[in-house]
């Protein structure tokens, strides 16, 4: 339903010798669209010549969810993305049932008004100038030939992010208070050479500063360089929409809690290699083989391939037949995948018997699956992974150690029916195995290549290794542009034979004997200021356990502000 003002269109109706007026109720905006939800707004209008009043019922459209930009969000808001939220002409390509929800099932990341992977957006419908209703539409479709078969689309993002942290990293950073600020620019061009060939390029630069900052590196500061540069050839093969992509590119065809786009820092994750995909009506397959990108060299356009870092695998998604649950429609997706990772240095280190970090090279083979979808008012996601492989410590004649680790992730909740705030109430629970300090087999689960870190902890204090977490969450939408998410997770170590892990490192400088790590009540407020501007704020208080405090840990407060401009 489009946003139009309420108009009472009088139509005389002859009834039992009297004249009355009926009203045509049209979609509403403003206060009625914001505040009304599944109930009628009533107004009294006097009849001609009569002192009595007649009720006019104006049915308001449900409050749509706020779009998180960018955000992978398998369960909770905004999993139900009504068509009124999407831009009428800017959207992802037609992948059929895989476009449901926020479009992640298609394998190209979440899509709202704009996507995480900007090359996954389809602006070809702007050939029809009548569909252009935004000042930036002039940049989204520029024909280069008279027929319009060759055209180019431009995209951009400027993001300013700042943090305040009190005793960050549970005190392990040895900083009482820290304020950090980062800014990045991502600007791309998508050149279509007919319907089967496309070239995409994206530039990045980033900078960082602050007072008492810590942890800044090449992922926060970047001189102008190529973030993505690839060629895609696509068409119909064996009844499927298929394509082959070669070059430097983003890759998001995994559950977000397994592999994401490195959104917490400034420079997103990019890979070099090939990707092949095919999508039928209810089955799709994706295969890839990549090496990493070395972003550490200084200077403009100095990024190179990192052949010591690899990501390869195959993934398939099946959309089972739709069903009915509690009298409401339901549907789901089943993902089955294998992917291998190879990485060295600190991101692949394991804990030694002395609880020190032993660096080396790790090859991890991951076999897993995930089932997620909507069953009437219930929204759910459940998945598991088993990791095998081997770890070899740095140094001459270091023996190889086998890897035997696993993880389980779940998130489920209930969408309150007929609720004016579109309330979602759920529970998240995860287990990530740990324990490799006192045995030959490495038992600590690890994902070296940037999962969606906020999936576990919005303050980025703990990460997906050697940990058990559980906690409730609530999401609510107010008006058309304001949404709140609140969580209260509790954390334990899975094994006391491995240290507490956190993003970017395997352990803290201190260790303790207990299992309970602490709890971290947290809330995120998202304000979609306009079509191109969003502002998100996150507040979290990590309250450490008594055992961790006794070992030298400390509770801390985290605040983050994220202002993004996108077109």
Flag whether 1 is in a domain.
Answer: no
Instruction: Burial-class residue 397 by CB neighbours within 10 Å (0-12, 13-18, 19+).
Output: exposed
Q: Which helix (H) or strand (E) holds 219?
A: none
Q: Which helix (H) or strand (E) holds 546?
A: helix 546-550
List the Cα angle 182/164/223 in 5-degree steps: 10
> Which pLDDT does position 382 carry in this prediction?
95
Query: 177-193 and 424-432: which strand pairing?
Result: unpaired
User: Are the C-beta atoms of residues 185 and 157 closer than 8 Å to each other?
Assistant: yes
Domain containing residue 316: CATH number:
2.40.160.100
Flag whether 20 is in a domain.
Answer: no
Secondary structure (3-state) at 118: helix
> Which pLDDT does position 347 carry in this prediction?
75
What tokens were used for 474? 């609530």
Flag whether 159 is in a domain.
Answer: yes
Contacts of 206 (CB under 8 A, 6+ apart): 182, 183, 184, 185, 220, 221, 222, 266, 267
User: Helix H segments across 416-501?
Assistant: none
Domain containing residue 118: 96-566
Q: How far is CA 257 from CA 19, 72, 293, 411, 454, in A?
A: 63, 9, 21, 11, 9
Other CB atoms within a 10 A radius of the CB of residue 155 amount to: 23
Residue 558 has pLDDT above 60, yes or no: yes
In sequence order, the β-bridge partners of residue 533 are 565
> pLDDT per residue over 173-196, tens digit each?
777 888 999 999 999 999 999 999
Flag whether 418 is in a domain.
Answer: yes
What value does the mean pLDDT take over residues 465-473?
Answer: 94
* Percent of the chain predicted with pLDDT > 70: 81
Number of domains in the chain: 1
Cis amide leading into 562 (omega within 30): no
Q: Picking from 14-18, 172-176, 448-452, which range would have the lowest pLDDT averaged per residue?
A: 14-18
> Which pLDDT does position 21 carry in this prediction?
31
Distance CA 133, CA 214 (A): 44
Nearest by Cα to 348 from 432, 268, 442: 442
Nearest by Cα to 178 from 209, 212, 208: 212
Flag whether 114 is in a domain.
Answer: yes
What tokens were used for 219? 């992922």
What value does the mean pLDDT take over residues 314-342?
Answer: 95
Residue 560 has pLDDT above 90, yes or no: yes
> Which pLDDT does position 87 carry in this prediction?
38
Flag whether 316 is in a domain.
Answer: yes
Distance CA 184, CA 160 (A): 7
Q: Picking from 80-89, 199-208, 238-247, 319-328, which range would have the lowest pLDDT averaged per residue?
A: 80-89
Flag whether 272 is in a domain.
Answer: yes
Flag whether 69 is in a domain.
Answer: no
Residue 74 has pLDDT above 50, yes or no: no
Q: Picking from 4-13, 95-104, 118-127, which range would have the lowest pLDDT averaged per residue?
A: 4-13
Q: Picking from 309-313, 384-388, 528-532, which range would have the lowest pLDDT averaged per residue?
A: 528-532
């Amino acid at each position: 339903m489009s946003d139009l003002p309420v108009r009472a269109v009088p139509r005389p109706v002859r009834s039992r010798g009297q004249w009355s007026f009926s009203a045509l109720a049209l979609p509403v905006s403003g206060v009625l669209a914001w505040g009304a939800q599944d109930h009628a707004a009533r107004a009294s209008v006097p009849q001609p010549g009569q002192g009595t009043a007649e009720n006019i019922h104006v049915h308001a459209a449900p409050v749509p969810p706020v779009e998180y930009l960018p955000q992978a969000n398998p369960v909770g808001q905004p999993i139900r993305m009504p068509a009124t939220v999407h831009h009428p002409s800017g959207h992802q390509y037609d992948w059929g049932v895989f476009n449901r929800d926020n479009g992640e099932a298609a394998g190209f990341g979440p899509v709202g008004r704009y996507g995480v992977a900007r090359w996954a957006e389809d602006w070809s419908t702007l050939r029809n100038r009548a569909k252009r209703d935004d000042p930036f539409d002039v940049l989204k479709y520029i024909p280069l030939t008279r027929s319009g078969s060759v055209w180019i689309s431009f995209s951009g993002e400027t993001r300013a992010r700042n943090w305040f942290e009190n005793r960050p990293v549970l005190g392990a950073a040895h900083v009482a208070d820290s304020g950090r600020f980062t800014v990045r620019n991502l600007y791309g061009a998508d050149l279509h050479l007919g319907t089967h060939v496309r070239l995409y390029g994206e530039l990045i630069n980033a900078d960082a500063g602050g007072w008492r900052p810590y942890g800044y590196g090449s992922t926060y500061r970047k001189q102008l360089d190529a973030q993505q540069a690839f060629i895609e050839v696509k068409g119909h093969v064996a009844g499927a929409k298929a394509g082959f992509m070669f070059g430097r590119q983003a890759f998001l065809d995994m559950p977000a809690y397994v592999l994401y786009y490195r959104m917490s820092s400034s420079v997103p994750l990019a890979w070099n290699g090939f990707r092949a995909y095919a999508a039928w009506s209810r089955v799709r397959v994706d295969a890839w083989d990549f090496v990493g990108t070395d972003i550490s060299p200084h200077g403009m356009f100095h990024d190179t391939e990192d052949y010591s870092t690899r990501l390869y695998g195959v993934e398939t998604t099946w959309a089972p037949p739709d069903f009915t649950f509690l009298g409401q429609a339901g549907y789901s997706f089943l993902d089955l995948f294998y992917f291998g990772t190879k990485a060295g240095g600190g991101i692949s280190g394991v804990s030694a018997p002395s609880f020190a970090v032993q660096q080396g090279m790790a090859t991890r083979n991951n076999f897993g699956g995930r089932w997620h979808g909507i069953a009437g008012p219930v929204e759910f996601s459940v998945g598991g992974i088993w990791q095998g492989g081997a770890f070899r410590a740095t140094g001459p004649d270091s023996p190889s150690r086998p890897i035997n680790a696993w993880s389980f992730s779940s998130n489920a909740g209930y969408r309150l029916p007929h609720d004016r705030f579109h309330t979602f109430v759920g529970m998240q629970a995860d287990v990530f195995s740990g324990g490799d300090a006192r045995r030959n087999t490495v038992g600590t689960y690890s994902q070296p290549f940037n999962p969606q870190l906020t999936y576990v902890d919005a303050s980025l204090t703990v990460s997906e290794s050697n940990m058990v977490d559980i906690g409730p969450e609530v999401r609510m939408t107010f008006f058309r542009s304001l949404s709140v998410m609140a969580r209260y997770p509790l954390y334990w170590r899975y094994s006391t034979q491995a240290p507490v892990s956190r993003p970017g490192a395997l352990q803290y400088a201190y260790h303790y004997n207990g299992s309970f790590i602490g709890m971290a009540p947290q809330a995120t407020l998202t304000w979609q200021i306009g079509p191109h501007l969003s502002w998100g704020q996150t507040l979290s208080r990590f309250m450490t356990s008594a055992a961790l405090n006794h070992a030298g840990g400390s509770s801390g407060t985290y605040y983050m502000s994220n202002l993004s401009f996108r077109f």
